[in-house]
Amino acid sequence: YLAYPQAPDGLGSEPIFAVRADRDAERLVDVLRETIRAQDPTATLESIMTMEGRVMGSLARPRLYATVLAGFSAFALAIAGVGLFGMLSYGVTQRSKELGVRTALGAQPRDIVRLVVGEGVVITLVGIAAGLAIAFGLTTWLSAFLYGVAARDALTFTAVPGVLLLVATLASFVPARRASRIDPLSVLKGA
């Protein structure tokens, strides 16, 4: 605590008063204004707020950053899902003759679905393994710079791969269903 006249210039030129109240602090605003004006009629009160309001105000920017980051993350996840969907759709189109032959030789539709979804999951697992290796190294480095960032956060290291795997599986189902419906006769006639 420093008395206002003793405060160095760097601490600001406006005093801040903190008042503890046993009742609703919003109702004390008029009483505070009158009390301060009784001491100094030229004093003006610019911002009177509760401690809760001050805390919420100080958290507004970090909350905004977290919301924007979550939005960008969701967008990136959607792009990854669409990319995997496109890649698998293209692969199914390119392999339609092979899938038609498999069906003609007795492969059941569930076998074709399992094949295509399995390929999508394998591609995703390779990406997850590479991402986890990089993230594992980066979190160790980042924990030295950021307060509250655990180097080995188990929730993050399990939830993120789980969500990615779920998105990849869902993105694989549409091409897989299309592949399972390939008519072997029409595909083989076109060959």
Domain ranges of the chain: 4-39, 61-190
Q: What is the pLDDT of residues 119-174, one digit of tens each?
A: 999 999 999 999 999 988 888 888 777 777 677 788 888 999 999 999 999 999 99
Q: Is the pTM of this model over 0.75?
A: no
- Indicate if the pLDDT at residue 30 is higher than 90: no
Across residues 50-57, what is the average pLDDT?
82
Q: Residue 158 half-sphere exposure, CB side, CA atoms within 13 Å?
A: 3
Across residues 35-58, what is the average pLDDT?
81
**Residue 28 pLDDT:** 79
Across residues 51-59, what is the average pLDDT?
84
Q: Which residues of 88-110 are buried (b: 16+ CB within 10 A; e: fewer)?
A: bbebbeebbeebbbbbeeebeee
Q: Which of 25-39, 67-81, 150-164 has the highest mean pLDDT?
A: 67-81
Alpha-carbon distances, residue 31 vs 17, 34, 48, 161 (angstroms): 14, 5, 12, 56
Instruction: Please enumerate, as own/partner, the contacts of 25-28 that have beta carbons within 8 Å and a separation of 24 or more.
Output: 25/50, 25/51, 26/50
What is the pLDDT of the chain when averaged over all its residues? 84
Q: Give first-to-last CA distance, the chain, whole Å.
A: 87
